[in-house]
Structure 1
Amino acid sequence: MRATLLALLAFIPAYAATAQTPITWTDLIDPIAQVYEDPFRELGYEQLEKLRIIAKAQQRLEDDVSATKTRDEIEARLNAAEASLAEQGIDAHNLLSQRWAVAERRKRAAVSGNAALNGKLVVLTGYAIPAPPTDDGTPVAYLVPERGMCSHTPPPKPNQMVRVMIKGDWQPTTMHEPVQLTGRLSLSDTTHDIQVVDGLVPMRAAYEMEATGALTTQDMQDTAGSRQENTWAAAIVERLHVSGQLPQKEIGETN
């Protein structure tokens, strides 16, 4: 424990002295790619459901359903859905003609990373997921913004996932281990199938980080509880306490 504390205290002045940029997960998103026209955003559930009925009916009719009765039923559903939307001032055919272009814009918005962070030395806090090492033995992890992602819930968007190449002594020992990483970011779109709780998961990350520093919750708790003046570490620990990620120590409790 003393060795861990000394290593952490040695790291803190370096943090203050070097040009490291603390960032949040929203900073990773490309702001330019988020600005696009999406007419579907303003539609409610029932309106979107009507569009789905129309699209499905059109596809079935194009597939040449031979039975006249079946075609009549499909056309009746299609006409009813179109009429319902038209009464609300919605041109179903115009909207459906845009759906593939909008889908491509949404995909680009989910994948695109922030070019302003490419090559930057940053500090980012998240949850680490262990991953197999590279072919040359470099330890690897994935950093995500929320606990449970990629196991009990789907993976986040690619620009909300960082593939971490670990250069220091730290490695995650548990799934979704809270950690604050320091390292250099690079825009690098990668996809790897990783074994997690519920089986193989395709981990697509828009970023890679070469992590040279790591602070775990235990490191931060030790530092905040020491006699050293370190408001930065104390603030981080307080946020973890509030979020429930780090239990409060009782007065007089020791490690």
Structure 2
Amino acid sequence: MRVGVLFTVAVGSLLLPATTAAESLKIGWRDLLPEGHAPLAPQKIRPTPSAKPREIALSTALDGKTVELSGYLLPADREGELVYAFMLVQRSGACSHMVQPPPSQVVRVVPEEPYRLSMNYEPVSVTGTLTAGLEKTQLFILDGVAVIESGYRMSMAQVANADFVEESRPPTPWSFLGNREQGK
């Protein structure tokens, strides 16, 4: 009987589509914007309750597709150094050191298996099926609790360390620090 169970499991696993990096479409953060939309800059001030909500534009062109995207990991659900869910953001420091990026530039990721984190904002590459849709996640960050809105989700994603994360940084009030260090 045990052989029959193993055979069924083996045959059944052959019928499931495998998600590999070779079969995925490598995308950048601009690809998460619908065609014709410019990237939104992060809000400079937190909105007031009476403020009109910003229009949120998401791309549906990649909805349901297997993609690979690199960014920075901000843990949402963790136990010690194991991360069970996280936000993938374009810039290191987003959401805790800076104002939250627009939802179109935040992906909520649930890894296939817990990811062993070595530091917050660790650069990672994530491969999985992208799903468009707004979702709010509560995080504990440096300033306390924050609610982060993501425009996309990847479940059962494969996560790997990234040596390089393509980043387009908008100007910040701290950019003069980099120039001072380089003697400019």
Shorter-chain TM range is 0.5 to 0.7
Q: Is 1:209 matched up with 2:158? A: no
Alignment-derived partner of residue 63 in structure 2: 118
Superimposed CA distance per residue, residues 107-144 of structure 1 (whole angstroms, 9 cap, x where no aligned partner): 22xx22111010010000000001126xxxx9110000
CA RMSD, Structure 1 to Structure 2 (Å): 2.6
Is 1:183 aligned with 2:128? yes
Indicate conservation of the 8 Å contact 2:139/2:148, yes or no: yes
- Is 1:21 matched with 2:33? no
| C-alpha displacement of 1:176 | 0.6
Structure-2 change in CA distance of 1:197 and 1:27 (3 Å): same
Displacement after TM superposition at 1:31 (Å): 2.0
Question: Do the aligned residues in 2 keep the contact of 1:194 with 1:200 (CA within 8 Å)?
Answer: yes
Asked if the contact 2:84–2:114 (Cα under 8 Å) also holds between the matched residues in 1, the reply is no
Q: How many residues align?
A: 132
1:171 Cα shift?
4.1
Counterpart of 1:129 in structure 2 is: 74
Residue correspondence of structure 1 range 87-236 to structure 2 within 5 A: 107-108=54-55, 111-132=56-77, 139-217=84-162
Q: TM-score if structure 2 supplies the norm length? A: 0.63
Instruction: Name the CA distance, whole Å, in 2 between partners of 1:117 and 1:172.
Output: 28
Q: Say if 1:171 and 1:131 are closer, same or farther in 2 by CA, change over 3 A.
A: farther
CA displacement at 1:211 relative to structure 2: 4.4
- Looking at structure 1, the residues matched to 153 and 65 of structure 2 have their Cα atoms a distance apart, in angstroms, of 11
Name which of structure 1's ranges 142-151 and 185-194 shifts more when overlaid on structure 2.
185-194
Q: Which fold has the larger relative contact order, with Cα–Cα distance below 8 Å and residues 6 or more apart in sequence?
A: 2
Taking structure 1 as the reference length, what is the TM-score of the superposition? 0.47
How far apart are 1:196 and its partner, in Å? 0.9
Distance 1:31 1:117 in 2: 12
Larger radius of gyration: 1
**Gaps (5+ residues) in structure 2?**
1-19, 39-50, 168-184
* Matched-pair contact (CA < 8 Å) for 2:25–2:66: yes
Give structure 1 stretches of 5+ with no counterpart. 1-13, 36-99, 221-235, 241-255
Aligned residue type for 2:21: Y
In percent, how many aligned pairs have the same letter?
Answer: 29
CA contact (8 A) 1:164 1:208 kept: yes
Runs of 4+ aligned residues of structure 1 deviating over 3 Å after TM superposition are none
Assess if the C-alpha contact under 8 Å between 1:181 and 1:211 holds in 2: no
- In 1, Cα distance between equivalents of 2:116 and 2:150: 19
What amino acid does structure 1 have at the position aligned with 2:35? P
Tell me the CA shift for residue 173 of structure 1.
3.9
Instruction: Judge conservation of contact 2:76–2:138 (CA < 8 Å) in 1.
Output: no
Higher helix share: 1
- Distance (Å, rounded) in 1 between the aligned partners of 2:131 and 2:62: 7
